[in-house]
Amino acid sequence: MTIPPYLKKNDTIAITCPAGYMTADKATTCIETLQLQGYKVIAGKTLGSKSKNYFSGTDAERLKELQSFLDDKDIKAILFGRGGYGMGRIIDAIDFTAFIKNPKWLIGFSDITILHSHIFKNYKIATMHAPMAAAFNEEGYKNEYIGSLLAAIRGVKGNFKSARNKNNKYGSVKGKLVGGNLSLLVNAVGTASDIKTNNCILFIEDIGEQLYVADRMLYQLKRSGKLKNLAGLVVGGFTDMKDTDRPFGKNIYEIVSEIIATYNYPVCYDFPVSHKKENVALKVGIKYEFIVDKKGSTLKEL
């Protein structure tokens, strides 16, 4: 794996919205925080764009801005404003030539999962699954999760723990970390962004899905071989899950446990990676040590 250079003071971070619309004021706290950390910040035109629909600009406008930031040697990291939906509409049109020659940290989650997967699959360059610009609001810039992002871009190795969960499966392994939003991982199956998960530690999270839909997506991962030969599985937060009028009969952790019951690798549940504030910075493609025991779980960057 190629690891992009970590950031130093006076390095430039660009903020762009390659998917859903976001007002410019929602990035104000993020920009001020990054500047106080000693970084220069460029806010793209897609942030607070004049778009009248769901997206932060047309496909062409969003692609053009992201491409320009990828190509700019002076930009050392790209922090996405928000996710939503839209990266999948432009991913195949991105030219990664300059990025491959001069890699930089690409930082985000949710819809940005497709970008993480695409780069891991095709270019073996590390990226960062982490809070985005909007997460700095409501004093988020003070919490440990934004703190983990600010530490990660400086090169501090992550070492995260989660409490004991009755569904956990014990074990200790090492492997490259891959994953992200469950919906996007499933949507990538059979595409140019479809990752190989053998001997990897996979992490998953999602938001707003029906329980039966989550069950269906997990079976899609199972049937496509993504769950069979993992080194380990990290189950994060599944926020605002919904149920049908006639109950599905299992919660999300019970669904996961049933689907992977025959596999013999460590699994932890309720790890702090999610659409809520509990969302630590994880480096996709980097090797981690994953330990699950009676005390809880640990995911430590090597």
Each residue of 132-181: pLDDT tens digit? 999 999 999 999 999 999 999 999 999 999 999 999 999 999 999 999 99
Rounded to the nearest integer, the mean pLDDT of the chain is 97
- Boundary-marking domain end, from 154, 182, 213: 154
Rounded CA separation 24/45 (Å): 9
Is residue 4 domain-resident? no
Find, among 12, 72, 6, the residue nearest to 41 by Cα: 12
Torsion of CA 167, 171, 176, 178, to 10 degrees: -10
Identity of the amino acid at 89: R
**What pLDDT shows up at residue 12?**
98
**What pLDDT shows up at residue 7?**
98
Are 44 and 171 part of one and the same domain? no
pLDDT above 90 coverage of the chain, percent: 100
Are 46 and 123 part of one and the same domain? yes
Are 167 and 127 part of one and the same domain? no
Task: Supply the CATH number for residue 124's domain.
Answer: 3.40.50.10740
Is residue 39 domain-resident? yes
Are 213 and 99 part of one and the same domain? no
Residue 57 structural domain: 12-154
Are 198 and 238 part of one and the same domain? yes
Are 56 and 75 part of one and the same domain? yes
- Boundary-marking domain end, from 112, 130, 154: 154
Report how many domains make up the chain: 2
Are 58 and 132 part of one and the same domain? yes
Are 150 and 173 part of one and the same domain? no
Is residue 276 domain-resident? yes
Are 127 and 227 part of one and the same domain? no
Are 131 and 213 part of one and the same domain? no
- Boundary-marking domain end, from 137, 154, 171: 154
The pLDDT-based confidence of 131 (bands split at 50, 70, 90) is: very high
Task: Supply the CATH number for residue 288's domain.
Answer: 3.50.30.60
User: What is the DSSP secondary-structure string of 101-161?
Assistant: HS--EEEE-GGGHHHHHHHHHHH-B-EEE---GGGGTTTGGGSHHHHHHHHHHHTPPPEEE
**What pLDDT shows up at residue 24?**
96
The pLDDT-based confidence of 244 (bands split at 50, 70, 90) is: very high
Is residue 2 domain-resident? no
The pLDDT-based confidence of 260 (bands split at 50, 70, 90) is: very high
Is residue 270 domain-resident? yes
Buried b (16+ CB within 10 A) or exposed e, 3-15: ebeebeeebbbbb
Are 163 and 295 part of one and the same domain? yes
